[in-house]
Amino acid sequence: MGKKKILFASQEINPYLAETYMSNVGLNLPKNSIELGNETRVFLPKFGVIKEKANNLHEVIRLSGMNLILDDFDHQLIIKVASIQSARMQIYFIDNDEYFPRNIMFHDEEGNMLENNDERMIFYCKGVIETVKKLGWSPEIIHCQGWFASLIPMYIKKIYNEDPLFKDTKVIYNVFDTEFEGSLNLGLINKLLFEKKLEASDLELLTEPTFENLNKFAIKYSDAVIHGSEKINEGVSKYMKDSELPFMAYPGEEEYEEQYNNFFDSLVEVEEEIEMTEEKK
């Protein structure tokens, strides 16, 4: 299989966040992609727990400075980068002083989910896409890891569907066991409806933005889905199977990179076969 252009939009990457199975996958998949010679971009939210000096983060002035509109307000998008030298990998961080402050990730100091996690998620997902647009880079595959990236499939298929950069992009959603209790802010739908291309019927699954519903919503707009953790939410697992999308089963905790790469290859091969068939008509 030829070289691919792959975008990894991750919720966790080791060593910037605590070592978990998800954060290890977030590191190892793009590392393997680079080793295979693929053109690879990696994005991560710049959560406040990520230490800038210790990790040698610095701002990319040419990419920073644009504003993203959320709920009719402008929010400055700041792009920072850092490198993992051992993996020859550069990470782009989506940052904003309002959304990613202090020493927190998803919860406040008392352990409560942040009230604005919905807006932080919107900002991250839209920030990734707008940065890719500014780079003028056209990914063949976007791999979305974790619920914090769950809006990217919808953005690609509904908001940016006429952008030539994403014309042939396949979006893969990877479901992990990072479940949270309750739901995000119930105003999420109204904030998303500021996008003129969206209608309320497009967002029905987000009427109650629970972990389960966010994952179902991401699957609805994806081209393929991955069972990322050994055990995941039962409702999401059933929805995944009922979707009849191209599906990759849980690959285990060791030496899973080849299984992912073969799955990525299969999606690109299908697209190439479709294009060849259309050309013959």
Element (H, E) at 141: strand 141-145
| Residue 280: predicted pLDDT | 46
| Residue 1: predicted pLDDT | 60
Verify cis geometry, omega within 30 degrees of 0, for the bond prior to 15. Answer: yes
Residues 6 or more apart in contact with residue 149 via CB below 8 angstroms: 9, 10, 11, 124, 125, 128, 173, 218
Structure letter (DSSP) for residue 202? G
Residues 6 or more apart in contact with residue 254 via CB below 8 angstroms: none
Question: Are the C-beta atoms of 141 and 4 separated by less than 8 Å?
Answer: yes
Select from 225, 228, 252, 258 the least CA-distant residue to 36. Answer: 258
CATH architecture of residue range(s) 5-280: 3-Layer(aba) Sandwich (3.40)
Could you tell me if residue 129 is left (phi over 0), alpha (psi between -120 and 50 degrees) or otherwise beta? alpha
Residues 6 or more apart in contact with residue 110 via CB below 8 angstroms: none
What single-letter amino acid sits at 193? L
Helices (H), 137-256: 152-154, 188-192, 211-220, 234-242
CA distances (Å), 126 to each of 122, 179, 226, in order?
6, 22, 22
**CA-CA distance, 134 to 42, in Å (whole number)?**
15
Structure tokens at 241: 């199977």
Select from 250, 237, 249, 245 the least CA-distant residue to 270. Answer: 245
- Give the pLDDT of the chain (281 residues) as one tens digit per residue: 679 999 999 999 999 999 999 999 999 999 999 999 999 999 999 999 999 999 999 999 999 888 998 877 899 999 999 999 988 999 999 999 999 988 899 999 898 999 999 999 999 999 999 999 999 999 999 999 999 999 999 999 999 999 999 999 999 999 999 999 999 999 999 999 998 899 999 999 999 999 999 999 999 999 999 999 999 999 999 999 999 999 999 999 999 999 999 999 999 986 555 554 454 44
Exposed / middle / buried, residue 167 (Cβ in 10 Å: 0-12, 13-18, 19+): exposed
Select from 202, 206, 204, 210 the least CA-distant residue to 188. Answer: 206
Structure tokens at 179: 């479940």
Give the residue extent of every domain in the chain: 5-280
| Residue 107: predicted pLDDT | 93
* pLDDT (tens digit per residue) in 138-184: 999 999 999 999 999 999 999 999 999 999 999 999 999 999 999 99
**CA-CA distance, 52 to 64, in Å (whole number)?**
16
**Any idea which residue has 């990790």 for tokens?**
55
